[in-house]
Structure 1
């Protein structure tokens, strides 16, 4: 029986990808580097630190990784605070409330920074539902490395076998699979460039999930 649900955030709880896309590409312009759409898509699920480590090596950037991260986060926070059309993914709030009401433990495991996680959780009043929030910035390797999900599962009140992950990215699903945790792939509009084939099951909308369905998965 499933007792813990581990949620990814970007693309699963809230779609901050357009804000990230804007911030990254503004920064790429400032750095005068040509990051192709294919290259950018391949970084989905990676932490900001890992992305800039890869970009620094690929484009031989002279800037320090820490400064690159700070600049991108400044651009993101500026856009996040002024963007009015930022909403939770359709149906996810009802699912979160249903699971919480029925005693399912909820844990966030996101590649996003702690600052971004706090911004999202404060804006949409989500703190009350989650026992733990795990940020990818605390791990040297990003998804598809399983470390973030292994750690999230270690925070569960139950065994790893009683956990599931909800993910929408190729890298996130691979991380869940590598961690040995049952994975629900969320096939959203924003996942169109992602490969969900390794997920144990795939849903198109969160109205396909509820407490009873999730409890009996795995």
Structure 2
């Protein structure tokens, strides 16, 4: 029986992706890079640090990765504070609250840095619902590497068969597959060109999920 739900954050809990995209492209322009939307879509699921390491290697950037990360983060932070209409994705708060009432364990496993996820969780008062928070900045490799999800399962003190993952990106789904955990792919049209075909189940709105539906899912054996 499923009793633990592992959530990605960007594009699943809250749609901060447009803010991230704005910050990345503004920063790319500042440092003289021409990154296409198609190439940017391949970065989804990567931590900011690993994303900049990747483009630093590809485009021979002179700046250090930490400097690049901080420059982008400064742009994001300002945009995040200015965007007053930012909200949880439709149906997400209801799903979180209902799962919590039904004694599900909720865990966050996001590629976002702790400073970013903390801003989001403070803004929407989400910390009380989650037993554990796992940030991609704590791992040398990003999704599709499964390390972040394996850590989330370990923290849950449950078996993989008791857990599911909700993801919206190709890299996230592949990471869930590699971790051997049942994956629900959320088709978010604002997440760019993401291939969710390897998800065990695909939804288009969070009202398609209830505690009972999730409880009855069969974990991967």
Q: Which SS does the other structure have where 1:155 is aligned?
A: helix
When the two chains are superposed, the root-mean-square deviation of aligned CA atoms in Å is: 0.7
1:153-183, CA deviations, whole angstroms, 9 ceiling, x for partnerless residues? Answer: 1011321110000000000000000000000
Structure 2 counterparts to residues 102-121 of structure 1, below 5 A:
102-121=102-121
Residue 149 of structure 1 deviates from its aligned partner by 0.3
Matched with 1:185 is 185
Structure 2 counterparts to residues 38-49 of structure 1, below 5 A:
38-49=38-49
Matched with 2:10 is 10
Matched with 1:72 is 72
Q: Which SS does the other structure have where 2:68 is aligned?
A: helix
Matched with 2:176 is 176
- Cα distance in 2, alignment partners of residues 30 and 68 from structure 1: 11
- Cα distance in 2, alignment partners of residues 153 and 108 from structure 1: 11
1:127-169, CA deviations, whole angstroms, 9 ceiling, x for partnerless residues? Answer: 0100011000000000000000000010113211100000000
Report the count of equivalent residues: 218
- Cα distance in 1, alignment partners of residues 203 and 23 from structure 2: 29
TM-score by length of 2: 0.97
1:105–1:157 Cα contact (<8 Å) kept: no
1:129 paired with 2:135, answer no
1:2-38, CA deviations, whole angstroms, 9 ceiling, x for partnerless residues? Answer: 0100000000000001110111011101100111111
1:93 paired with 2:64, answer no
Gaps of 5+ in 1: none
- Cα distance in 2, alignment partners of residues 68 and 89 from structure 1: 29
Matched with 1:37 is 37
Residue 191 of structure 1 deviates from its aligned partner by 3.5
Gaps of 5+ in 2: none
Residue 192 of structure 1 deviates from its aligned partner by 4.5
